Chains A and B, each alone.
Chain A
Amino acid sequence: MATDVVPRRGVPADRAQLVQWMQEYGVYLGVTVLLLFNVAFTDHFLSTENFRTQAVQVAPVLIVALGMALVIGTEGVDLSVGSVMALSTSLLSLYLGYGPLAALLVALVGGAAVGLANGALVAFVGVQPIVATLALMVGVRGLALVLLPQLEDVHDPTMATLGSGDLVGIPYVVLIAVALALLVAFAVRRTTFGRQLLAVGDSRPAAQLAGLPVRRVLIVVYVCSGVLAAVAGFLATARLSASDPTSLGNLMELSAITAVVVGGTSLSGGRVRIGGTVAGAALIQLLNATLIKHNLSPSWTQIAQAAVIVVAVYAARERGRR
């Protein structure tokens, strides 16, 4: 790191430094500001129950965002995640007769298959990620609806426990999300795959010439994204105690991308910030909760979300110019 001139933390001096500081820590600042605002102005905000609710609601978004962060780290994007959640819930409902574990496995295989298709299109056929995953987004949602045309209730007790139960006060859903976040963070930091992913995202030609298995990395990344989305679909189903492929995961890709980008992962690849992604997801959740709790008109919720995305994209643009 810096040897003679150490940039001062906390008090950014000039504009460039300010921008950089905002990119690194802006999301944490945003979360803090929202928390303080709510503590001051929202009734019954400082309660365990409330934080539990927020954590439970953010868990599926976070899990999808983890996969999205990996994909974005390779300079890609996965628009099919919401549809994969729908596919996952359809498959769960269809196979729940064999027990929840078997159904989960089928759902995960489904997610992996979609990821494989995405990855193959991107890595072998050379389709732009946005186009490839858009195609899958449309197709997979259709497939999910063919498999399960309408909402189906889930009565399985294991699923119910998973959806609403907890371990020493922490809901299972949240525990799973935290475990997955740690796992992904570990994979990015400590594994060969993580390093290769960053290299592929930063400079694909260089990675190729360095003999990296570029295609394999890309495929694995999309498979991870698909599997994580399937897990999110599984947990959302458990929480809802119903399979609803028509609405489950709608606009999930946007929430996930926002979480990742707000969290400081550059859209131009080469960087994956898991901590930032967690904070980004929390930021969106808190923003939504704040607007709902203060009973602002739904149009304002949409406008506020749009504003956050604009700010995030602006920050990403600044990042790209460096």
Chain B
Amino acid sequence: MSAPAEVLAVRGLTKRFPGVLALDDVTFTVRPGEVHALVGENGAGKSTLIKVLTGVYQPDQGELRYRGEPAVFGTPLRAQQAGISTIYQEVNLVPLMSVARNLYLGREPRTRLGLIDFGRMHREAERVLGDYGVRVDVRQPLRHLGVGAQQMVALARAVSVNARVVIMDEPTSSLEPREVETLFGVIRRLREQDIAVVYVSHRMEELYAVCDTVTVLRDGRHVHTGPLAETDRLTLVSLMLGRPLGEVGRQTTATPAGDHDGEPVLHAEGLTRPHQLRDVSLRIHPGEVLGLGGLLGSGRSETAKAIAGALPVTGGSVTVAGISVRTGSTPAAIRAGISLLPEDRKAEGIVPGLSVRENIALAALPRLSRFGLVHEARVDAVVETFMKRLRIKASSPHQKVGELSGGNQQKVLLARWLAMHPKVLLLDDPTRGIDVGAKAEVQKLIDELAEQGLGVLLISSDVEELISGSDRVVVLKDGAVVAELSGDDVTEDRLMRAIAAPTTAPDDTSPTIPTSPTSAEEAAVHGH
């Protein structure tokens, strides 16, 4: 049998959902040994296409061919068994099982008695994960690992299941630069083994670093397919957005830091929480964007949550505009004017089953009610204002938030908080997993909000975003503040140096030997 020119192909694919034509006559082919970038804005149809390829959805029209044969994958499992593996943005493993069990789930090495050979499983798991730069105790539950390390486990699992096609949906969104490099190494190895990779990402650098071919979707239609080398960035972006590039640009310079000397709007002092935060202090002035830098697991999200009252602290205080706020109470923090956009948008941010309207009004409900009855007209007014102002794209205010794209979900959350007229906005990776256009919009919104006098705390896994979006950057490491960059020092280079610099804390250990039980992700990052 001669190798087919294409391993996986769809032609004339159409998929409808109530009220939405998600894919309209799309053609998409992948050849063995090819790294194929799949890009497009929100609602372009990337997710739907992937779900059709992996058997989650069945096409309404069009043909799916796999290894030269017409194929029907009734379920994701069947697609996986046929050799199509998928790594999703959100890690899809069993958090309570050990790392090794997750890696070998359903195909554990057996002893002669048919029992699981734990010894062999653990040894092999360590070896396999080592190839991915993950050095952890494979016996501990998966959930003790950081998101990045979990993703590596998911990748290792997917690749080792005899895959012919590996689909990666935003694989780097929670990875650190070093992990990204490891991932690219893995992708190159897959290419050598003639395995096809479908690579979905919003990060241009990554696309140009590893992809051979690119397919652009827009509004459910196929727009372009061609070798990536022949498509420059400018062209690619304009293909994705379908409009002249000028509109996408944003002010890269943040407000000058000089006018932030007065009374801080937020003052957090000595926040402490065992194993997670050590005496973290920071202040944000009105109109200032304070970046919170650091590696995954450095305590960035924990700091934000502690300020927002969502994480109880054993020590420390939070003051908003000079008034002390009770810690450990979300309602108290919200009343004081603190709003948090959590990192895990789907689990902790949106209420997926409720409509856009209810989600926006959720926090402000008591204000929009009289005698416990919701004042519908006032809710409508608020919802309309913010849907317009934040350009939220939904078929109507009554559409379920769970059906929206990531960017629009994030905007809905922003709307929810802006409706509360907050003084301080804590944004934990607000542009994670949203496409270029929406990302630029959100970034622009953040600048606008700061200009209106809000204090903004910005956390981002995208170093460039953090640097260009922040007036000042506080750098965390192992749950403690290790540096503060301001003025001309706010550069990527300085940030990296601050993170890489050996810490002075007496109880700290060499970064290559993880001993702290909370720094599993650190281990993943610093591992050999």
Contacts and interface: CB of A to CB of B under 8 A. Distances in A.
- Report A-B touching, CB under 8 Å: yes
Interface of A: 1-7, 190-196, 198-199, 202-203, 205-213, 270-271
A192 B349 contact: no
Given A1-B398, A192-B365, A202-B352, A211 B330 contact: yes
B303 to A, nearest CB: 15
B330 A191 contact: no
Contacts of A2: 18-19, 395
A174 B16 CA distance: 45
Nearest to B362: A210
Q: Top 5 A-B pairs ranked by shortest CB distance?
A: A211-B334, A2-B19, A270-B353, A202-B353, A192-B369
Contacts of B308: 209
Nearest to A7: B18
Interface in B366-403: 366, 369, 372-374, 376, 395-396, 398
Given A5-B16, A208-B330, A209-B340, A203 B310 contact: no
Contacts of A195: 358, 361-362, 365, 374
Interface string B457-478: 0000000000000000000000
Interface string B333-357: 1110000101000011111111000
Contacts of B342: 209
A203 B19 contact: no
28 contacts: A3-B395, A4-B21, A5-B17, A5-B19, A5-B20, A5-B21, A190-B374, A190-B376, A192-B372, A192-B373, A194-B374, A195-B358, A195-B361, A196-B362, A196-B365, A198-B353, A198-B358, A199-B362, A202-B352, A202-B354, A203-B350, A205-B347, A206-B348, A207-B362, A208-B310, A210-B362, A212-B363, A270-B351
Contacts, number: 96
B330 A209 contact: yes
A206 B359 CA distance: 10
B479 to A, nearest CB: 21
Contacts of B31: none
Contacts of A191: 369, 372-374
B334 to A, nearest CB: 4
B19 A1 contact: yes
A209 B349 contact: yes
A206 B349 contact: yes
B511 interface: no
B416 interface: yes
Contacts of A213: 331
B394 to A, nearest CB: 11
Nearest to A17: B18
B199 to A, nearest CB: 28
Contact of A206 (B17, B333, B350): B350
Most A-side CB within 10 Å, residue of B335, B351, B374 = B351
Nearest to A198: B354
A190 B365 CA distance: 11
A213 B335 CA distance: 12
Contacts of A210: 330, 351, 362-363, 416
